[in-house]
Amino acid sequence: MANPPREISERDRELSRLMGRSQVGDGAAYEVVLNETAVMLKRYLYRRVADEGAREDVLQEILLSVHKARHTFDPNLSYKTWLFSIARFRLIDYYRKSNRQRSREISQDSFEDFFTQEEGAERETDRLDPEVLLKALDALPPAQKEAVDRLKYREQSVREAAEAMGRTESSVKVLAHRGYKALRKVLLKRGEGE
Amino acid sequence: MNPQTPLSEGTERLTRQLVLQLKPVERFKIWSHLWPYAAVGCAVVVSSAFFVGLRPGLAEAALALPFVLETLLLAGLALLFGYWSLGLGIPGRSRSPGRLTLLALSLMGIWLLFIGSRALVARDGWFDVTSAAYVSLPCVFELVVVGALPVVFLRQRVRALAPTAPGKTFFLVTAAGLFFGAFALQLTCPMDTSGHLFVWHFLPLFALAAVAVLLGKRFLKW
């Protein structure tokens, strides 16, 4: 059931009218609507998305959604209500995606900490035999080996390694993490054995 | 990025592209989508009656007012839920759907009353439902088979819109289609006990609709 018509501002009414004209193919009206929409969205997203790049992505995503859903707009209703319903939906989508991604990723710092701890332990015991390490590295699956090699020995950044390997940054981090874990296991086993 | 700074190069480029791609669109009207959905639903119900066969004694039952009201109620629920789900495809349209929710809940309550009233009037058994599972399962099958086409049809229509609450919308889409299934069962199912109607008609409908809540994001992606 439609909302009862509520008081809408003059500018909102004007945007509704322009959007109505856009629906019949008026490009000039559409340009005004999109430019004003982009400015409103920029303000809306400013406090809601901290990362500047992500904010720009979300803004563009919402503009695309507005374009895609323009046939659902009713010029008798508020343009802003329609627009911000879409904006909120896309923003929630973005939050969900970034939360999911964050929960899957292990930060670069934690890798570094892990490796530093490992190195520290090895230095302490002074048992790090390069041959053993090379053997352990060789035993790793090729992708893990390459990730560890690029990040740790060639001292490439995650982005550089990802580009060189043709993978995403998250995937490289995960590969390296698994590689470190496997190496640690081998080295600890060896330590216990001695 | 200060909100006062001008738009980025990328956003301006995108805006220009969207303007260039602009084509006239047909404005969405709920009724023009609701009637085809209703036609599909009714066609499936008629086909089901044709293939499964009408229940014995339907002619006498059709003379009884409660039966007629219950049948109309199921058809009405199928249309109401269909209308509601199409409405949810329009961003910002149903910000306070209080009246619709109340209406839908009341109608479902009335359906439950109709089901329950049989137990009071005929004093039929509530507890023979599990022992009759083998004869009752075809009802669930018919409910799903008859409801599937309206669900698919309505889902296509809703997906072409912009549903901003996909879980809730897909719940309504599924329930709407399955109400056509329940409508068909009203005409074909020979079992009329409260227990049977509640466990094999009412519960499966809402169980499937509840599952649809989880699938909404996937099936109504736009």
Query: What is the residue-level pLDDT of chain A in tens, covering all 194 positions?
Result: 444 455 678 889 999 999 999 999 999 999 999 999 999 999 999 889 988 888 999 999 999 999 999 999 999 889 999 999 999 999 999 998 888 877 766 555 555 555 555 555 445 444 556 677 777 788 888 888 888 888 877 777 888 888 888 888 888 888 888 888 888 777 777 665 55
Task: Concatenate the DSSP letters of all residues of B60-101 into one string.
Answer: HHTTSHHHHHHHHHHHHHHHHHHHHHHHHTSTTT-S-THHHH
Q: Which of A1, A83, A89, A90 to probe by mutation at the B interface, max B CB count within 10 Å?
A: A1
Measured in angstroms, the CA of B177 and the nearest CA of chain A are apart by 19
Q: Which residue from B minimizes the CA distance to A48?
A: B3
- pLDDT tens for B62-109 read 888 888 999 999 999 999 999 999 999 999 876 556 777 888 888 888
Burial degree of B214 (CB within 10 A; 0-12, 13-18, 19+): exposed
Core vs surface per residue A52-71: b (16+ CB within 10 A) or e: eeebbebbbbbbebbbebbe
Out of A30, A68, A71, whose CB is closest to B19? A30
Whose structure tokens read 């409801």?
B147
B25/A70 Cβ within 8 A: yes
Out of B20, B24, B161, whose CB is closest to A23? B24
A4: which DSSP letter?
Answer: P
B90/A89 Cβ within 8 A: no
B91/A85 Cβ within 8 A: yes
Measured in angstroms, the CA of B144 and the nearest CA of chain A are apart by 28
Closest CA to B175 of B104, B127, B116: B104
Query: Do B15 and A34 form a contact (C-beta atoms < 8 A)?
Result: yes
Task: Concatenate the DSSP letters of all residues of B97-109 into one string.
Answer: THHHHHHHHHHHH
Q: Which pLDDT value is given to residue B2? A: 57
- pLDDT tens for B17-42 read 999 999 999 988 889 999 999 999 99
Which is more confidently placed, A159 or B168?
B168
Tokens of B192: 């009329």
Whose structure tokens read 């199409």?
B86
Distance of CA B189 to the CA centre of its chain: 20
Closest CA to B177 of B51, B79, B69, B68: B79
Cβ-Cβ contacts under 8 Å between A and B: the total is: 108
Tokens of A68: 């895609």
SS3 of residue B143 by DSSP = helix
Binning pLDDT at 50, 70 and 90, where does residue B10 land? confident
Query: Do A186 and A139 form a contact (C-beta atoms < 8 A)?
Result: yes
* Residue B6 forms contact with A (CB below 8 Å): no
Tell me the pTM: 0.72
Contacts of B47 (CB under 8 A, 6+ apart): none
Whose structure tokens read 């910002």?
B92
Q: Which pLDDT value is given to residue A2? A: 46
Closest CA to B198 of B150, B130, B102: B130
- pLDDT tens for B117-167 read 877 766 555 555 565 777 788 899 999 999 999 999 999 999 999 999 999
Q: Which residue from B minimizes the CA distance to A71?
A: B27
B9: which DSSP letter?
Answer: H
A151: which DSSP letter?
Answer: I
Task: For chain B, state the CA radius of gyration.
Answer: 21
Closest CA to B144 of B184, B115, B107: B184
* Residue B11 forms contact with A (CB below 8 Å): yes
Burial degree of A167 (CB within 10 A; 0-12, 13-18, 19+): middle
Measured in angstroms, the CA of B36 and the nearest CA of chain A are apart by 18
Tokens of A44: 């809306």
Phi-psi region of A106 (alpha: psi -120 to 50; beta: other; left: phi over 0): beta
> In whole angstroms, how far apart are CA B177 and each of A53, B44, B183?
43, 10, 10
Q: Which residue from A minimizes the CA distance to B18?
A: A67
Q: Which residue from B minimizes the CA distance to A47?
A: B3
Q: Distance between CA atoms of B190 and A41, rounded to whole angstroms?
A: 58
* Residue B92 forms contact with A (CB below 8 Å): yes
What amino acid is encoded at B116 in this protein? G
Q: Distance between CA atoms of A96 and A98, rounded to whole angstroms?
A: 6
A70: which DSSP letter?
Answer: G
Closest CA to A144 of A193, A185, A116: A185
Number of helices followed by number of strands (H, E) in chain B: 9, 0
Which is more confidently placed, B179 or A169?
B179
Measured in angstroms, the CA of A10 and the nearest CA of chain B are apart by 19
